[in-house]
Structure 1
Amino acid sequence: MEHEDLLDDVLKLAAAAGCDLECVPDIAATRSSWATATAVILDASTAAQCAQAALPRRDAVFLVSTDPAPRTLWERAVEIGAERVLELPGAEPWLVNALADATDAPALTTGRAVAVLGGRGGAGASVFAAALGLTAIRTGQHALLIDCDPLGGGLDLVLGAELEQGLRWPDMQLRAGRVAASSLHEALPTRTRGNARLTLLSGARQGASPAPDAVAAVLEAGRRAGETVICDLPRTLGPSAQAALTRADLTVVVVPARYGRAPRPVSSPITWPSWVSPPNSSSAAPPLAASPRPRSPEPPGSPSSPPCAPNPTSPKPSTAATSRPAPKALSPKPPAPPSPHWPPTPPAPSDPNEPRHDRPDQA
């Protein structure tokens, strides 16, 4: 690039994206690195030189200019097959993202994000999130474990990595924008198993919760790198937890198991006794018949009489209604006067030689 102001702006944007730029002096040096460079950034003069040199078309060629871009720049873009014309400073965010993608070399597939939170205290959400990260690297997948609970003890304690070197959330000077996944791999504690890698961003048991933009930037960096992103969220969903929850592909709520007697399955058959009629049964139970009471044998020669014959000498019951006297009104009984012999006189002590008659054998 020959435009110095544009060159300074592009170098600043490359530093923000974590990308190292190589400035070539002439068209001959451009030809030698034209096919191997990850991205090519040209201004109007260098684009005209590339068009005159008839360089082959390639991807990721960007033309930059001040706003608005001249008409001739669009013509040069068509000649060399540029991918996009960028008018600075309006297109600066897009250029930063493009340079970051060129540095990180995005994965073939986009990673997935999982949010884990507990239904109550002590449910084991942090342990489950750490187990997901370890399971991912055991299956040969890269994982990024993010601690979004400011009141928790820290995921580094769960994994036994509290003494490992690396940044924690209070050390991350990140507010908004885009962060490269390679920068996270270099600055954060990692665990490896074969070719798989687990990157941990834990809290430090002090300080405030991370900013929502910082959580979103780290989560998107892991997804661009094709990693499985696991976020440990608190039960109280603050702004940072909401930022992770809205970007998650799956949310897992961990609740503790309650032990007790299991309910009887509905499909199990019920065995009814033979003398009970099941409900909604078409066959009714047979009625219960009273068995006759056995009679004692009569002595020989006694007259036989019906078992329930009435006694002729017994008076007949009267059918007339008898009147009952009305109950008398009860008047309160006056209290008894105090006894002159109160308190009672204690009995005289008994003679130990006198025989006792309180037992039957001594009476």
Structure 2
Amino acid sequence: MTCSTGVVVIGGGQAGLAAGYHLRRLGIEHVVLDAQVAPGGAWQHTWDSLHLFSPAAYSSLPGRLMPAQPGQTYPDAQHVVEYLADYEKRYELPVQRGVWVDAVHRDGPCLRVESDAGDWRARAVISATGTWTRPFIPAIPGRREFSGRQLHTVQYKSPVEFAGQRVLVVGGGNSGAQIAADLASVADLSWVTQRPPRYLADDIDGRVLFYAATVRRRALDAGRTDTGGVASLGDIVAVPPVRAARDAGLLPATPMFRRLTTTGVEWVDGTRAEADAIIWCTGFRPALAHFAALRLRGTRGHIATEGTRAVGEPRLHLLGYGDWTGPASATLIGVGRTSRDAAREIAGLLG
């Protein structure tokens, strides 16, 4: 049996495009299958006010600097979408859109990729599906009892629809802080966090975060003491809107409640608060259901990897899911290095 293509890349967002760039440079036949009908990956679905943590030049994929956005130090999400669309076109990457991958199976010398647009038999597969399609909400008692509106980060768009409402934003990371800042001046806001918010120093942005993540990975790979990486610096990048809301005293944090009630929430001491809406900024899980048949998933839904290569299946590489697939690999600048390494390793595999 012969394989119909060299490499199938699953996912056409930033990680998938970076993989396509390096595969193209190495002359490796490949196809990029993307469930989205338009370019831009998850960036086309974010909330309206979202901005990057870093200037454009430090938010670039391999081979093509992101141009600066006029009037903005930190580009917004739409600027990223336009950059990704231009990147895909500039390098003539073979992206097939509107293709949903259902499963990947071992098939002799090939990996068979099943989709709603047909099957591909590939000599290697790169998974770059990210996490946006798998929002996580914790199992808090009373969630089904609450009669108000509940939504996750992925469903939030703008503060306009919450004007004058009592809103709880749950989550002490960047999404929680940015959405809380977005709502602070228009809603009766309560920002709920598991622990007191930990802001990074105001002069720290994505450049420093990428460096910290890289230093940590190198230390771990060399068997040295864990430096703590980004987590040692804090949880929240003080981008200008967050900094302004914080400095104006609009972002006091409340400890986590113990349960939801019909009309709001209740804390351990019995104190209650009413709410019209709860926005869960509680993170994501990797979108890896298409690999169920390979039986590779371990703790927390992760697949064990050495670099980007799956330990249990050497023909499979994973890009862009977080530090377990490379330092800062879920960022625009961070995925470049790991996609290069994956492409080179696949080139060696294919001979």
Using the size of structure 2 for normalisation, the TM-score is 0.20
Q: Which has the larger strand fraction? A: 2
Kindly indicate whether structure 1 or structure 2 has the higher relative contact order, using CA contacts under 8 Å at least 6 residues apart.
2
Structure with max Cα Rg: 1
